[in-house]
Amino acid sequence: MDRRNFIASAGMLAAAGAAAPMLQGCSEADPMLRGAKVDVKESYKCQLLVVGGGPAGVCAAVSAARRGIKTMLVDSGNCLGGMGTKGLVGPFMTCYDAKGERMIIRGLFEEIVDRLIAVGGAIHPSKIRQGTEYTAWISEGHDHVTPFDPELLKVVYDHLCKEAGVKVLYNSMFLKPIMKGSNIAGAVFLTPSGLEAAAADMVIDATGDGTVAFRAGAPCVFGDPENNRVQPASLFFRMNNIDTPRLIAEVVPHLPEFRRVNGVSYRCLHWRVAEAEAAGEWDLARKSVNIWRSVEEDQWVVNCTRIHGVDPTDAENLSAAEEEGRRQVQELMHFFRKYVPGCEKATLMGTGSVMGIRESRHVHGDFVLPVQDLIDGLIPEDTILLSANSIDVHGAMGGPAGGLYMPIKKDMYGIPYRVLLPKGVGNLLLAGRCVSADSAAAGAIRVMPPAMALGQAAGTAAALSLLRGTTPQNLDFGDLRAALVADKAYLGE
Ligand SMILES: Cc1cc2nc3c(=O)[nH]c(=O)nc-3n(C[C@H](O)[C@H](O)[C@H](O)COP(=O)(O)OP(=O)(O)OC[C@H]3O[C@@H](n4cnc5c(N)ncnc54)[C@H](O)[C@@H]3O)c2cc1C
């Protein structure tokens, strides 16, 4: 039996053999659960189920648990942090306003940064300026990023969840929701113990791909529906044994040559890429590289591989991309060792254990955030976070270049609460990359500091809805705003 059939039949087999009352009750409402012969253990019961333990999911779960909500956080991997840990993605993109004067993403994000700094795992964003080695020498839209150590971030997330009383379940893949009318009554997971179910009063989808919302029947679009494309994927890697002073000395004299021609960036080490290309030792779809100095002096984060047309919701497509990512990493390591002064002894510390997915499904609500609102610097009344991240859509045209990079015109823009509310599923909130936004708007708010703030807002809204006995749709926004401000989120003066 192939994987797809196994999952389909596992779902179909689940309910009839299940003794659990929740599953028997829900099987009638869910045709996929009829005729079951395999047990699904009803192992867990919680008030709030958060699916996906990336930056958004962690912040959602911690925010809710700190308000006394019995919260469970489930992730398919073996640690929390999503792209920032398993994916080796970093640094945290900017949390400052567009002038680089004020830290505007605070709350749990700031607490995480402070905890990282306390264990030597990050450099405070106030100390990091754009146009330096910490920003791949990019000089716009990258002021005050936060370099961090992914291993220490895992531990910080562990502590945060433990202290807040979040029940965390690793290595557990969400398969399907158990629907009760238009609400989610629980979910089935494939865990190391088998098929297990968790009953929940409310659910947050923090899977990045919007998998819970999609399987619960909420409307979704894949990438940019105008051209049915998604941003390219990138397999991140980290390297060390770099002679950082020599590498910096190699790059800095070339800074005046950095340019963008017909959408193609000629930035860091473009002169070395040209040499490798001339020697027939470069076949990557880019003319320069993105390397970011990390917390330790000799460690650098490399964001250079580029794989087009990756669909993380398609197992075979994703599998092919994983191999192509590793091939590109080897080619890049050869390039750094052979062509780049200071990198002769570079060691590959590791590649991400998951492919770096910039874009997949966008779940839609009644309101879909248009990119124009960000460009215009709109700050709606129901703003849950302020941000100034640029609109950064990599190579959306499918070629080596293209894409859209647009610094915003005002100091900041506000993201409204409405982006967290999917259409048609009453007790589900969205958090992180999958929120209700158009493709270009998502290109701005997909980065980790906004993802954490979206998670904090979703977890707080879920908690308040449960405590007040209302739905996220009917929650009083004034109540939510006051709770976010009390928890040190910055929502303006
Ligand atoms: C190539 C690339 C470069 C980037 N560069 C930066 C950068 O420099 N700075 C920055 O701040 N941001 C950057 N980002 C963006 C950022 O990393 C992500 O958009 C952000 O992590 C989104 O957070 P999230 O919590 O929504 O999703 P994720 O971080 O993707 O976390 C989702 C979690 O859900 C889990 N999950 C998914 N499906 C299931 C399931 N069915 N069952 C159980 N668990 C599931 C996943 O395992 C994962 O742990 C980059 C992203 C990419 C891909």
Q: Which numbered atom of ligand 1 lies nearest the CA of 292?
A: 8
Sheet containing strand 347-351, edge to edge, reads 291-293, 300-302, 237-240, 347-351
Q: How far apart are CA 351 and CA 337, in angstroms?
A: 17
Q: Which atom of ligand 1 is nearest to the CA of 455?
A: 25
Paired sense of beta strands 173-180 and 167-169, if any:
unpaired
Domain that holds residue 269: 232-351
Residues 139, 128: Cα–Cα separation, whole Å: 12
Q: Is residue 259 part of a domain?
A: yes
- Sorting pLDDT into bands at 50, 70 and 90, what band is 40? confident
Q: What is the CATH number of the domain that holds 96?
A: 3.50.50.60
Q: How many CA atoms lie within 13 A of 315 on its CB side?
A: 5
- The answer to whether position 134 is within a domain reads no
Reduced 3-state DSSP string for the chain: CCHHHHHHHHHHHHHHHCCCHHHHHHHCCCHHHCCCCCCCEEEEEEEEEEECCCHHHHHHHHHHHCCCCCEEEECCCCCCCHHHCCCCCCCECCCECCCCCCECCCHHHHHHHHHHHHCCCECCHHHCCCCCHHHCCCCCCCCCCECECHHHHHHHHHHHHHHHCCEEECCCEEEEEEEECCEEEEEEEEECCEEEEEEEEEEEECCCCCHHHHHCCCCEEECECCCCECCCEECCEEEECCCHHHHHHHHHHHHHHCEEECCEEECCCHHHHHHHHHCCCCCCCCCCCCEEECCCCCCEEECCCCECCCCCCCHHHHHHHHHHHHHHHHHHHHHHHHHCCCCCCCEEEEECCCCECCCCEEECCCCCECHHHHHCCCCCCCEEEEECCCEEEECCCCCCCCEEEECCCCCCEEEEHHHHCCCCCCCEEECHHHCCECHHHHHHHCCHHHHHHHHHHHHHHHHHHHHHCCCCCCCCHHHHHHHHHHCCCCCCC
User: 9 lies in a domain?
Assistant: no
Instruction: Kindly report, residue by residue over 107-158, the tens digit of the pLDDT.
Output: 999 999 999 999 999 999 999 999 999 999 998 889 999 999 999 999 999 9
Q: Is 234 in the pocket of ligand 1 (CB under 6 A)?
A: yes
450 ligand 1 Cβ < 6 A: no
Q: 79 with 185, same domain?
A: yes
- Atom 22 in ligand 1: residue holding the nearest Cα: 433
CB of 138 within 6 A of ligand 1: the answer is no
- Give the chain's mean pLDDT: 91
Q: Which tens digit of pLDDT belongs to each residue from 432-468?
A: 999 999 999 999 999 999 999 999 999 999 999 999 9
Q: How far apart are CA 384 and CA 482, in angstroms?
A: 11
Domains identified in the chain, total number: 2
Q: Indicate the top mutation candidate among 51, 83, 390 to test ligand 1's pocket, ranked by most ligand atoms within 8 A of CB.
A: 83
Whether residue 185 is found in the same domain as residue 244: no
Read off the pTM.
0.93
Rounded Cα distance, 95 and 114, in Å: 14
In the prediction, which pLDDT does 32 show? 52
95 & 163 share domain: yes
| Residue in the structure block whose two tokens are 């977890």 | 459
Nearest CA to ligand 1 atom 20: 448
Asked if residue 237 is part of any domain, the answer here is: yes
Asked if residue 434 and residue 335 are part of one domain, the reply reads: no
Q: Which residue has the higher pLDDT, 146 or 309?
A: 146
Residues 240, 347: contact at Cβ < 8 Å?
yes
What's the confidence (pLDDT) of residue 403?
62
**What pLDDT score was predicted for residue 402?**
54
Give the residue, 418 or 4, on which the prediction is more confident.
418
Is residue 55 within 6 Å of ligand 1 at its C-beta? yes
* Same structural domain, 50 and 184: yes
Q: Is 303 in the pocket of ligand 1 (CB under 6 A)?
A: yes
Give the Å distance between the CA of 61 and the centre of ligand 1.
Answer: 16
Condensed to tens digits (0 to 9), the pLDDT of residues 240-259 reads 999 999 999 999 999 999 99
The CA 85 to ligand 1 mean position distance, Å, reads 9
> Is the same domain home to 49 and 93?
yes
Exposed (0-12), middle (13-18) or buried (19+): which is 272, by Cβ within 10 Å?
Answer: buried
Looking at 328, 351, 374, which one is the last position of a domain? 351
pLDDT above 50: residue 12: no
Residues 222 and 236 in one domain: no
Cβ atoms of 160 and 112 closer than 8 Å: yes
> What is the chain's Cα-based Rg?
22
Same domain, yes or no: 99 and 218: yes
Q: Does the beta carbon of 190 lie inside 6 Å of ligand 1?
A: no
Looking at the fold, whether 244 and 329 belong to one and the same domain comes out as yes
- pLDDT score for 27: 45
